[in-house]
Structure formats: C-alpha cells, structure tokens
C-alpha cells in the first residue's frame, strides 16, 4: 500500500456484517473506522440450505449503508459514470453462510445491482489463510495451531515455524451449532450438550495432525473474544481488551457450566457476554472445548485481530505478509501514531539500555533479554500521552498504551510497559489498577524499568542529546562498607541540571537495585 492509502474491508460473516477501514501511513497503520450490524444472514440456513428472504433483506440494507459510507469516504467510485475512488479501495469478502447457500448467486447479484459492491466469496482455504495471517501477525506464535470460529464455520490452521502447513474447515460455526443442537430458550439440557460434544469430537477426528502440532493454540473471532472477556471478568483481571490473554482449560470449563445453567435470555448477565451474542455463546464455547480436547491443548491464546486484519495485512505487506519482528513492530507503530520527538525518545532508550547493560555487567541484575525489551518499549512510548495534554502526560501515556494495544506482548508485559511509562516522572512505582496481573517478580521488574527510564529522562532533560552516555562504577563506600553505585555523566557541555535531576532518584534506585546511588560531577 502507498502512504496514506486506505482499505475498507467488508466482512460478510454468518453472524454479523462489519465494515472496517484501515489506513497505512509512513511507518505505521491503524484502524480508522468501523460499522457493525448484527445481520445474521446465516439465520435458518442449517435447516433450509438457503438464505432466507428476511435475512437477505437485512443484508442488502446493511450493504447499502456500507456502500454509502464508502462513497462518502472516497473509497468507492460513484455508480453510473465510472469514477475512480480517491486514495483507497474496498475489499468485500463473504464467508461460510454465503459460500454454502444454494441461492448465493442470486444474493450476490442483488447486492451488486443494489449497492455496486463487488463481493468475493472466500473458499474454505482462503478464509483459513486470512485467519492465519491475522493470528501470525498479532501474536508470537511460531509452532502450533490457529483456531478461527465464526457463525458458520470453524477453521484450524497448522503452523510450523510461522508458516501455514495445511488447514481444515468444518461447518461447526456458532450459529449453526446453536440452531442444530441448542434451539431452546431455557437452560441447556445435558443430552443436548453431549450430542453437540459428540458431533464436534467426531468431526475433528479427521484432523489427526492436531495432536502432533505445537502446544500453542491461538484463537480469533467474536466468540473467542467474548469467552476471553468473560474469563477475564470472572478472574477479576483489568479489562483493557483481551489481546494476548490465555483462557485456561479450567476457566473455559467453569464458564460453560455457568452458561449452560442459565436460560438463553439470562446468559448476558454473565459479565463480559453481550446480549447480541447471548444465544450463540454456549455453542461456541462447546466447540472451543472440543478443539482443546481433540488437540490436547491446555488453553486458548486470544488475539483481537481477525479475518479483516488478515485481508489488510496481505494488502499492506504484499508477497511476504509476515512482520519480521512483531513486538518491535507493535511498539514502533504505536509510537509513530502519536508523533513524539523521535530523537529524544530514541536517545532516552539508548541511555536507559546502556545503564541496563552496565548494571548487569556489574552483577546488579541478571540482564534478562525480555526485561531489556520491556524497558526499551517503555522508553519508546513514555511520552505518547503528551498528545492528550502535557499535564499528567505520564498517566495519558499509560492510558494510550493499555488501550492502543501492543500485539505480541502478554497482558502483564503490556502492564509493565504501561506502569513504567506512568512512573517516568515521579512517584514510587506500583502496579496500581493493574495489580491483579502482577506476580512475584513483576513488581521488582517494574521498579528496575521505571528507575532506568527515569534516570535516562533526567539525563535527557535538555532534549538535545547533550548527555552522551553514562559510566557506572561500583564502589565500596566508607564508613559502613556497603557497596554503592556511582554514575559518571558523559556530556558535550555543562550538565548540572541533568545531574541534579538524576540525583533525585536515589530512593527509587535503592528500591530497585538495593544500592545507594550517587551522581558524580
């Protein structure tokens, strides 16, 4: 894609239609717009084999809205005299329900006539491929399996060394399974659940490769996101989306039990389950359980990307549609969106990583490479909150990090980056609203990241890279014989203020590295 080019992806799913606009700019991309309608075009399909008149009418009216939107946004040429769209394109893709319906051709013709939208019907393999692209470019999966559960179908893709090695597809979507096995309004009956489970298990027998794949299972789709949100709420975890979250098998089992015991209308009382999905969620959860069972997976790793992102990534990345280093890409993408002072943030990162390495060399911490990456990310993102307001910009940076998302990082990693940015100016770091994610070593890691970021920021006080680096010495301090750390500031000129600023960090430094800090003139 060209800089500032936009792509509108229209996803005609069995359960919902969605229009998503992506924008690619120099060095970054983002979703800029979205329209969602719970169309349920797949309603009744399992029974009749065709698209019903009412669902089709809902679908056509919705596509009409999408087409209006695309024309107004310059993404679609006006009908009639052929005018090219401006700086963008539309890619409308249809999946399982439309693919499988007897009268699909009729519907597609009516859609084209009424809206002027050309619609690509994805084959099972193409649908699986886009799901794979979404998962592989939003998680660190290298070996394992991608699960894509829609309203109509389930796709499983085997991944070896980040590449897709075959896929299978089944008509096990949440809408279909609900209509076939759980049509009632009351609590689910044990027999119904057992029949659904048996059906899924039997269908999945053909995927004998499942048990030989890597131990990671990554899931996409609305059902998966809902289950993760519910599991997150049940565990009392902070709710800034579910990207990178792992739903353990036990958590899923508990959720299934809770949902099955409720009448359909009450399932949305389970925190995290939206009313629009209340009737489908149980069947979806049972299908996911079936996959965990069949493949012997311990849990399901969730990504918020989906088919739409897969279509976009293919367009963005061209022939080799994989990010080289996803975690780095995520950080750079978020940093670039908020347009910070690149020279300053890069220098803060260089200073902080220099100190990190020096202190590891001196044996004050073990120089863990993952911790080093989190420190780097916090440095790159610490000032993005200035786009909201200068006042409290450290808090705004946290907000933007938590809500902008960093695909490829786990929730506790994102939380550590966010809290380090939160404490890059003052205060004693603490997990704060993210405490539920913090385990034993995480608080110590946060302290180390925060104090190194803060020292680097102090040294870069003039924002002109005056301080080139730091030498660190470990001294045996008299009179008590305790080791202490001395910072020597290497600067191109007079650096009194950076030294004063750095010398204010003694308390936090002592907490992080258990040594007294002094800053030499």
Instruction: Give the list of residues 6+ apart from residue 486 with CB closer than 8 angstroms, or none.
Output: 472, 473, 474, 475, 517, 518, 519, 520
Where does this chain touch its own copies (CB under 8 A) — which range of 165-173, 251-259, 351-359, 393-401? Answer: 393-401
Q: Residue 352 Cβ, how far from its own copies at the closest point, in Å?
A: 19
What is the distance between the alpha carbons of residues 115 and 473, in angstroms, rounded to a whole number? Answer: 71
Using the rule CB under 8 A, which residue among 53, 391, 482, 507 binds its own copies? 391
Nearer to its own copies, 165 or 463 (CB): 463
Nearer to its own copies, 34 or 482 (CB): 34
Residue 19 sits at the vertex; the CA angle it makes with 288 and 11, to the nearest 5 degrees, is 45
| Sequence-ordered strand ranges (E) for 221-308 | 246-248, 299-302
Using the rule CB under 8 A, which residue among 161, 319, 439, 494 binds its own copies? 494
Where does this chain touch its own copies (CB under 8 A) — which range of 4-12, 291-299, 311-319, 386-394? Answer: 386-394
* Residue 461 found at the interface with its own copies (CB under 8 A): yes
Contact 275, 175 (CB under 8 A): no
Q: Residue 87 Cβ, how far from its own copies at the closest point, in Å?
A: 15
* Residue 466 found at the interface with its own copies (CB under 8 A): yes
Instruction: Give the list of residues 6+ apart from residue 343 with CB closer than 8 angstroms, or none.
Output: 465
Where does this chain touch its own copies (CB under 8 A) — which range of 229-237, 353-361, 428-436, 494-502? Answer: 494-502
* Residue 4 found at the interface with its own copies (CB under 8 A): no
Near its own copies in 237-256, by CB under 8 A: 241
Q: Residue 318 Cβ, how far from its own copies at the closest point, in Å?
A: 25
Q: Residue 58 Cβ, how far from its own copies at the closest point, in Å?
A: 8
Q: Where are the alpha helices (DSSP H) in 190-248?
A: 190-204, 222-234
Per-residue CA distances from 10 to 21, 172, 307, 318, 360 (Å): 9, 22, 10, 19, 50
Q: Residue 187 Cβ, how far from its own copies at the closest point, in Å?
A: 26
Closest CA to 90 of 71, 64, 107: 71
Q: In what order do the strands lie in the sheet with 163-170?
A: 163-170, 154-160, 144-149, 216-220, 299-302, 246-248
Using the rule CB under 8 A, which residue among 25, 35, 237, 332 binds its own copies? 35
* Residue 332 found at the interface with its own copies (CB under 8 A): no
Using the rule CB under 8 A, which residue among 3, 4, 31, 160 binds its own copies? 31
* Residue 171 found at the interface with its own copies (CB under 8 A): no
* Residue 386 found at the interface with its own copies (CB under 8 A): yes
What is the distance between the alpha carbons of residues 38 and 389, in angstroms, rounded to a whole number? Answer: 37
Closest CA to 452 of 324, 368, 350, 362: 350
* Residue 161 found at the interface with its own copies (CB under 8 A): no
Q: Residue 314 Cβ, how far from its own copies at the closest point, in Å?
A: 20
Using the rule CB under 8 A, which residue among 119, 400, 437, 459 binds its own copies? 400
What torsion, rounded to 10 degrees, do the Cα atoms 307, 329, 410, 460 define?
Answer: -150
Structure token digits, residue 409: 């990082």
Q: Residue 461 Cβ, how far from its own copies at the closest point, in Å?
A: 6
**Strand, helix or coil at 11?**
strand
Q: Residue 32 Cβ, how far from its own copies at the closest point, in Å?
A: 7
Nearer to its own copies, 65 or 360 (CB): 65
Where does this chain touch its own copies (CB under 8 A) — which range of 116-124, 321-329, 445-453, 457-465? Answer: 457-465
> What length does the chain have?
521
* Residue 25 found at the interface with its own copies (CB under 8 A): no
Nearer to its own copies, 58 or 448 (CB): 58
Residues facing residue 467 across a β-bridge: 491
Nearer to its own copies, 313 or 513 (CB): 313
Q: Residue 242 Cβ, how far from its own copies at the closest point, in Å?
A: 10
What is the distance between the alpha carbons of residues 211 and 233, in angstroms, rounded to a whole number? Answer: 30
* Residue 346 found at the interface with its own copies (CB under 8 A): no
Q: Residue 479 Cβ, how far from its own copies at the closest point, in Å?
A: 28
* Residue 405 found at the interface with its own copies (CB under 8 A): yes
Near its own copies in 48-107, by CB under 8 A: 61-62, 64-66, 68-69, 71-73
Where does this chain touch its own copies (CB under 8 A) — which range of 26-34, 48-56, 230-238, 314-322? Answer: 26-34
What is the distance between the alpha carbons of residues 51 and 101, in angstroms, rounded to a whole number? Answer: 6
Nearer to its own copies, 137 or 240 (CB): 240
Near its own copies in 263-322, by CB under 8 A: 304
Q: Residue 167 Cβ, how far from its own copies at the closest point, in Å?
A: 27
Q: How many residues bind its own copies (CB under 8 A)?
A: 44
- How many CA within 13 A on the CB side of residue 184? 12
* Residue 496 found at the interface with its own copies (CB under 8 A): yes
**Strand, helix or coil at 117?**
coil
What is the SS3 string spanning 118-164?
CEEECCHHHHHHHHHHHHHCCCCCCCEEEEEECCCCEEEEEEECCEE
**Count of CB atoms situated within 10 Å of the CB of 191:** 9
**Strand, helix or coil at 48?**
helix
Residue in the block written with tokens 């100016």: 425
Q: Which residues bind its own copies (CB under 8 A)?
A: 20, 31-35, 37, 61-62, 64-66, 68-69, 71-73, 241, 304, 343, 386, 388-392, 396, 399-400, 403-405, 461-466, 493-494, 496-498, 500
């Amino acid at each position: 894609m060209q800089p500032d080019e936009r792509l509108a992806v229209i996803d005609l799913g069995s359960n919902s239609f969605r229009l998503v606009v992506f924008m690619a700019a120099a060095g970054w991309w983002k979703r800029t717009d979205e329209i969602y309608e719970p169309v349920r075009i797949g309603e009744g399909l399992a029974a009749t084999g065709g698209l019903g008149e009412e669902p089709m009418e809902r679908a056509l009216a919705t596509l009409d809205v999408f087409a209006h939107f695309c024309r107004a946004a310059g993404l679609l040429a006006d009908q009639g005299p052929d005018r090219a769209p401006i700086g963008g394109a539309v890619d409308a893709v249809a999946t399982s329900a439309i693919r499988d319906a007897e009268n699909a051709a009729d519907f597609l013709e009516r859609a084209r006539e009424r809206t002027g939208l050309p619609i690509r019907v994805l084959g099972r393999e193409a649908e699986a491929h886009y799901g794979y692209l979404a998962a592989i470019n939003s998680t660190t999966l290298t070996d394992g399996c991608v699960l894509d559960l829609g309203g109509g179908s389930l796709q499983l893709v085997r991944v070896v060394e980040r590449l897709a090695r075959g896929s299978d597809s089944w008509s096990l979507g949440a809408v279909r399974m609900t209509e076939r096995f759980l049509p009632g309004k009351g609590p689910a009956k044990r027999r119904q659940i057992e029949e659904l489970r048996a059906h899924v298990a039997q269908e999945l027998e053909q995927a004998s490769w499942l048990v030989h794949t890597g131990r990671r299972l990554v899931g996409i789709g609305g059902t998966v996101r809902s289950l993760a949100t519910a599991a997150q709420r049940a565990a009392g975890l902070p709710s800034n989306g579910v990207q990178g979250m792992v739903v353990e098998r036990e958590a899923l089992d508990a959720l299934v039990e809770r949902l099955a015991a409720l009448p359909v209308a009450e399932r949305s009382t389970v925190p995290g389950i939206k009313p629009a999905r209340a009737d489908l969620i149980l069947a979806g959860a049972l299908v996911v359980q079936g996959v965990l069972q069949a493949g012997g997976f311990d849990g399901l790793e969730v990504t918020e990307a989906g088919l739409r992102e897969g279509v976009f990534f293919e367009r963005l990345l061209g022939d080799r549609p994989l990010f080289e280093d996803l975690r780095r890409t995520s950080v750079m993408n978020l940093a670039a969106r908020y347009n910070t002072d690149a020279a300053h943030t890069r220098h803060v990162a260089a200073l902080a990583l220099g100190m990190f390495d020096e202190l590891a060399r001196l044996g004050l911490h073990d120089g863990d490479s993952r911790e080093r990456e989190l420190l780097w990310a916090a440095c790159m993102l610490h000032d993005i909150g200035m786009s909201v307001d200068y006042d409290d910009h450290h808090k705004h940076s946290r907000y933007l990090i938590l809500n902008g998302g960093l695909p490829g990082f786990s929730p506790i990693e994102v939380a550590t980056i966010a809290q380090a940015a939160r404490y890059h100016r003052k205060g004693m770091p603490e997990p704060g609203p993210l405490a539920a994610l913090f385990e034993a070593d995480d608080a110590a890691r946060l302290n180390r990241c925060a104090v190194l970021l803060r020292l680097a920021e102090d040294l870069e006080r003039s924002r002109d890279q005056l301080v080139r680096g730091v030498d660190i010495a470990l001294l045996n301090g008299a009179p008590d014989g305790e080791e202490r750390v001395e910072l020597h500031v290497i600067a191109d000129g007079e650096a009194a203020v950076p030294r004063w600023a750095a010398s204010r960090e003694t308390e936090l430094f002592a907490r992080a590295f258990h040594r007294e800090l002094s800053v030499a003139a």
